[in-house]
Amino acid sequence: MAEITAEQVKLLREATSAGVLDCKKALADSNGDFEAAVEVLRKKGLATAAKKASRDANEGLIGNYVHAGSRVATLVEVNCESDFVARTEQFQQLVHDVAMHITAARPQWVTREEVPAELVAKEREIYREQMANSGKPAQVVDKIIDGKLDKWYSEVVLLEQPFIKDPDIKVQDLLTSSIASLGENIKVRRFARLEIGG
């Protein structure tokens, strides 16, 4: 069994924002292997975030971002469970980042469920017409259409868009990691994006 040092715990806390005891336990469980400990904490954080997703989030902030030149701006409401978390620097940074992302990425809806059913049906029909003369079997065409729809959702739905500051993660992943580190459910409730002449 490897000796766990205070320095290792400190480094792991800085890397993951997890609590001291969680970091100690993760390092002990992974026999002092830093990368394995990070993975343990990430899995635990995702599980914690999933548990918190059903809790009410009625506090929070309205954030804004005005792009240089003042020709495009965003207002966004991001909710959490307590005023205490809403006042933290991490939550305020999250709200700012989400507002900046919306300004740059132009989503139209927060979640997939908000997209009007008739629009989804219209997109599906367009893709079906594109595949009409492909000669592929119907189940293959359906899978291709589903893939094209997923791609479309990732362009128009906020939570499914690649995050502009780190395109390797989606906006939903950003929220999930914040839920794990802040310990409260966090939701983007709504947003308004304004653009001159838009």
Asked if 27 and 64 sit in the same domain, the reply is: no
Asked if 135 and 41 sit in the same domain, the reply is: no
pLDDT at 135: 83
Asked if 12 and 91 sit in the same domain, the reply is: no
Is the pLDDT at 119 greater than 80? The verdict is yes
Q: What are 56-95's pLDDT values in tens digits?
A: 777 999 999 999 899 999 999 999 999 999 999 999 999 9
Question: Any idea what the CATH number is for the domain that residue 18 is in?
Answer: 1.10.8.10
Asked if 106 and 75 sit in the same domain, the reply is: yes
Which residue range(s) make up the domain with 138? 116-156
Is the pLDDT at 47 greater than 60? The verdict is no
Q: What are 131-189's pLDDT values in tens digits?
A: 888 888 888 888 999 999 999 999 999 999 999 999 999 999 999 889 888 888 899 99
Asked if 99 and 120 sit in the same domain, the reply is: no
Asked if 77 and 151 sit in the same domain, the reply is: no
Asked if 137 and 171 sit in the same domain, the reply is: no
Asked if 150 and 163 sit in the same domain, the reply is: no
pLDDT at 53: 61
- pTM (2 d.p.): 0.71
Lowest mean pLDDT among 6-10, 46-50, 82-86, 109-113: 46-50
Residue 1 lies in a domain: no
Is the pLDDT at 121 greater than 90? The verdict is yes
Rounded distance between C-alpha atoms, residue 186 and residue 182, angstroms: 9
How many domains does the chain divide into?
3
Asked if 95 and 128 sit in the same domain, the reply is: no
> CB under 8 Å to 169, separation ≥6 — which residues?
162, 163
How wide is the angle at C-alpha 48 spanned by C-alphas 40 and 58, nearest 5°?
A: 150
Is the pLDDT at 1 greater than 80? The verdict is no
Q: Average pLDDT, stretch 15-28? A: 76
Asked if 152 and 164 sit in the same domain, the reply is: no
Residue 75 lies in a domain: yes
User: Percentage helix, strand, coil, to 5, in the chain?
Assistant: 55, 20, 25
Is the pLDDT at 41 greater than 90? The verdict is no
Q: Average pLDDT, stretch 117-130? A: 92
